[in-house]
C-alpha cells in the first residue's frame, strides 16, 4: 500500500505521524517488563478446573459370587462414604483383557485403578508403565513404582492360628483341607495352617488336601464329602467363593474359612476364620492421592505429580510414593473372626482361648512360623534346620508340608473355555442432565386497527354460519402427549451370573 503525502510534515506533526506508524511494531516486540519472546501478548486463559479423582475397580469374577470381590466391594463403598469420591467397576475381566478394561475405565474419566485380583499382578505392572499419569493399586503385587502401589496381605499368619484352633477342637487326627490351588499364596496358607495344627498333635496326624476350583460347586461338594468320609470333623476351606462354606453349614460340619462375612454365611457351623481388611488400606492410599492432587492444584506447581517424566514424579514430599505394603495381624490389615462358642469344647474353653491368644500374639509380633527343618510331601528338605523363612520366601512357596504325604487329590481340571467380560462400567454416579432448552419466544407488539364505519344497508342480514374446520370437537377426556406403548422395552438389568456361565479363571485370592 502506498501513502501519498501532498506536502511534507514538520515539527510536532511529523513526530505524531511517526509514532502512529511505529505503535503496532513497538507493542509486538519484547521489552523490559513485557512478555517473553514467543509468547502471545494476549491475556492467558484461566486454568481449567482440576479433574476430580475417580476410582475404578477391575474384578476377575462376579461381584456377587465371591468372597474376595465382596471384600473389595465393601472397600469400594467405604471409599465413597469416607472420602466422597466417585467409584465404579468392571467385573468378570480375564487376565488377557486387563489392558482393555483399563482403557475403558480411562475413557470414563477414571484416574485411579484398583486391581482386585492377584492374577492381574504382572499385567497391572505393565499397564502402570503404559499409563504413567494413572495411579494403580495392585492386590498381591510384588512391585512398585511412582504410580503403582502393591498390597500383600499376610494371610498365612491367621491361617496358622486357625490351624491351632482346629486341632484343639477336634477329636479326629484328620484335618481336611479344600483349597483352590490358584488362590493368593495358596501353598503358604495351607502349610501355615498345617504347622499350626501340628503344635497340638504330631502323632498319627493326617492333613489330606483336596484341590477344587472355586467356580465349581459340584467339585467343591465332592471334595468336602471325600474329606468327611476320611474322618475329618473340621474342614478348612480356602477358596474365592462361598460354595464350600455354605455346604458345610448345610450338612452340619464345622468349618474354618477365608471369608469376610463367615458368621453370617455359616452361623451354626463356623469355628473361626480370617480375611484381609482392605478398607483401611484403600482409604489410606486414595487419601494420599487425594492430598497430592489438592496440593498440586492449590499451590505453586513445583512438581507435577501426574507428569510422565520419571524425574518429575519422584518427590520426597509426595504422600503416594508407590510402595509395597505387607499387611499382617499386627497392623490390622489382616483379621480373624472370634471363635464360635457353639463349636468349641466347653470343658476346656478357657484353656483353648488362652492357648490361641498366646499364638496370636506370637505370630503378630515375631512371625516365626516357617522355622526349619521343614520337609515337603515328597520328603525333600525345603527349609533347613536353623533357618526361618521371611515374608518374600513364604509368599513364594510352591510346595506342600510333609504331613500331606501323597493324600493329595484334584477334583477340578483347568478350564480353557473362558468367557470374557462385557466391559460394562457399573456403579457410576448418575450424571445430572443439563436443563432442557426452552423454545425461543417472541413478543409481538399489539396491533390496533382503526375502526371503520360502514354505511347501513337495507339488505337483510345473512345468518352466521360456522366455517368447516379439521379440528375435532372438544371432549371432556384429558389429552396427553404420552406416546403409544410399544412392545419393545429397553432394559438395563444385567443378568446374574450362574455356575454354567462363570469362568474357571478364579477371582484373585
Q: Helical H runs in 43-89?
A: 67-83
Cβ burial of 225 (10 Å; 0-12, 13-18, 19+) is middle
**How many beta carbons lie within 10 A of that of residue 460, not counting itself?**
6
CA torsion, points 426, 492, 502, 270, in degrees to nearest 10? 70
**How many beta carbons lie within 10 A of that of residue 231, not counting itself?**
14
Q: Are 66 and 507 in contact (CB under 8 A)?
A: yes
pLDDT, residue 204, reads 75
Three cell numbers at 288? 494420599
pLDDT, residue 200, reads 85
pLDDT, residue 304, reads 53
Q: How far apart are CA 474 and CA 504, in angstroms?
A: 66
**How many beta carbons lie within 10 A of that of residue 309, not counting itself?**
9
- Residue 458 is given by DSSP the state -
Q: How far apart are CA 394 and CA 380, in angstroms?
A: 17
CA-based nearest residue to 427, from 102, 87, 115, 92:
87
Q: How far apart are CA 416 and CA 409, in angstroms?
A: 21
DSSP per-residue letters across 4-21 = --SS---HHHHHHHHHHH
Q: Are 234 and 255 in contact (CB under 8 A)?
A: yes
Q: Is 89 left (phi over 0), alpha (psi -120 to 50) or beta?
A: beta
Supply the Cα-derived Rg of the chain in whole angstroms. 37
Task: Give residue-wise pLDDT tens across range 365-418.
Answer: 777 899 999 999 999 999 999 999 999 999 999 999 999 999 999 999 877 667
pTM of the model: 0.73
Three cell numbers at 70? 465382596
Q: How far is CA 456 from CA 196, 449, 459, 460, 461, in A?
A: 121, 21, 9, 11, 11
3 state DSSP class of 494: coil
Q: Grid cell 490361641 — which residue?
A: 356
Cβ burial of 48 (10 Å; 0-12, 13-18, 19+) is exposed
Q: How far apart are CA 272 and CA 395, in angstroms?
A: 23
Strand partners, 255: 235, 270
pLDDT, residue 468, reads 45
3 state DSSP class of 290: helix
CA-based nearest residue to 195, from 238, 248, 158:
158
Contacting residues for 426 by C-beta, under 8 A, at least 6 apart: 88, 89, 90, 91, 494
Low-confidence ranges of the chain (pLDDT < 70): 1-51, 65, 298-317, 348, 416-417, 431-509
Q: How many CA atoms within 13 Å lie on the side-chain side of 61?
A: 31
Q: How far apart are CA 342 and CA 80, in angstroms?
A: 37
End-to-end CA distance of the chain: give it in Å, rounded.
Answer: 80
Pairing, β 54-58 against β 112-115: parallel
Contacting residues for 135 by C-beta, under 8 A, at least 6 apart: 111, 112, 113, 147, 148, 149, 289, 320
> What domains are defined for the chain?
54-153+279-327 (3.40.50.2300), 156-274+336-410 (3.40.50.2300)
Amino acid at each position: 500500500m502506498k501513502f501519498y503525502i501532498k506536502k511534507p510534515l514538520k515539527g510536532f506533526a511529523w513526530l505524531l505521524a511517526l509514532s502512529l506508524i511505529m505503535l503496532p511494531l513497538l507493542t509486538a516486540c519484547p521489552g523490559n517488563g513485557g512478555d517473553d519472546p514467543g509468547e502471545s501478548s494476549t491475556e492467558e486463559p484461566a486454568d481449567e478446573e482440576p479433574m476430580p479423582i475417580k476410582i475404578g475397580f477391575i474384578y476377575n469374577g462376579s461381584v456377587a459370587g465371591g468372597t474376595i470381590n465382596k471384600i473389595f466391594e465393601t472397600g469400594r463403598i467405604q471409599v465413597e462414604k469416607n472420602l466422597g469420591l466417585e467409584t465404579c467397576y468392571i467385573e468378570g475381566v480375564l487376565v488377557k483383557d486387563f489392558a482393555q478394561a483399563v482403557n475403558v475405565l480411562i475413557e470414563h474419566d477414571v484416574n485411579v485403578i484398583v486391581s482386585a485380583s492377584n492374577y492381574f499382578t504382572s499385567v497391572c505392572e505393565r499397564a502402570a508403565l503404559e499409563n504413567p499419569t494413572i495411579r494403580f493399586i495392585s492386590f498381591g503385587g510384588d512391585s512398585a513404582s511412582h504410580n503403582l502401589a502393591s498390597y500383600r496381605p499376610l494371610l498365612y499368619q491367621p491361617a496358622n492360628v486357625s490351624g491351632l484352633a482346629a486341632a484343639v477342637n477336634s477329636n479326629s487326627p484328620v484335618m481336611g483341607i479344600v483349597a483352590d490351588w490358584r488362590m493368593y499364596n495358596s501353598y503358604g496358607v495351607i502349610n501355615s495352617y498345617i504347622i499350626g495344627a501340628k503344635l497340638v498333635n504330631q502323632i498319627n496326624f493326617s492333613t489330606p488336601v483336596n484341590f477344587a476350583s472355586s467356580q465349581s460347586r459340584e467339585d467343591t461338594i465332592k471334595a468336602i464329602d471325600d474329606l468327611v468320609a476320611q474322618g475329618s470333623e473340621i474342614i478348612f476351606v480356602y477358596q474365592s467363593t462361598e460354595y464350600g462354606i455354605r455346604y458345610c453349614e448345610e450338612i452340619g460340619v464345622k468349618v474354618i474359612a477365608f471369608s469376610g462375612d463367615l458368621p453370617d454365611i455359616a452361623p451354626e457351623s463356623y469355628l473361626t476364620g480370617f480375611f484381609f481388611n482392605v478398607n483401611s488400606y484403600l482409604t489410606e492410599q486414595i487419601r494420599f492421592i487425594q492430598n497430592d492432587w489438592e496440593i498440586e492444584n492449590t499451590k505453586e506447581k513445583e512438581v507435577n505429580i501426574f507428569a510422565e517424566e520419571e524425574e518429575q514424579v519422584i518427590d520426597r514430599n509426595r504422600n503416594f510414593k508407590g510402595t509395597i505394603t505387607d499387611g499382617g495381624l499386627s497392623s490390622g490389615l489382616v483379621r480373624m473372626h472370634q471363635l464360635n462358642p457353639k463349636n468349641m469344647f466347653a470343658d476346656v474353653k478357657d484353656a483353648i482361648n488362652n492357648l490361641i491368644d498366646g499364638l496370636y500374639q506370637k505370630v503378630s509380633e515375631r512371625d516365626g512360623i516357617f522355622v526349619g527343618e521343614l520337609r515337603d510331601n515328597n520328603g525333600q528338605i525345603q527349609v533347613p534346620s536353623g533357618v526361618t523363612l521371611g515374608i518374600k520366601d513364604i509368599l513364594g512357596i510352591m510346595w506342600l508340608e510333609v504331613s500331606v504325604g501323597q493324600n493329595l487329590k484334584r477334583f477340578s481340571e483347568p478350564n480353557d473355555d473362558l468367557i470374557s467380560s462385557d466391559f460394562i462400567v457399573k456403579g457410576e454416579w448418575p450424571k445430572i442432565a443439563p436443563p432442557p432448552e426452552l423454545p425461543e419466544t417472541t413478543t409481538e407488539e399489539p396491533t390496533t386497527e382503526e375502526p371503520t364505519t360502514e354505511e347501513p344497508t337495507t339488505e337483510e342480514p345473512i345468518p352466521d354460519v360456522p366455517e368447516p374446520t379439521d379440528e375435532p370437537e372438544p371432549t371432556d377426556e384429558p389429552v396427553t402427549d404420552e406416546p403409544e406403548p410399544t412392545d419393545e422395552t429397553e432394559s438395563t438389568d444385567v443378568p446374574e451370573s450362574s455356575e454354567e456361565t462363570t469362568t474357571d479363571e478364579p477371582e484373585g485370592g
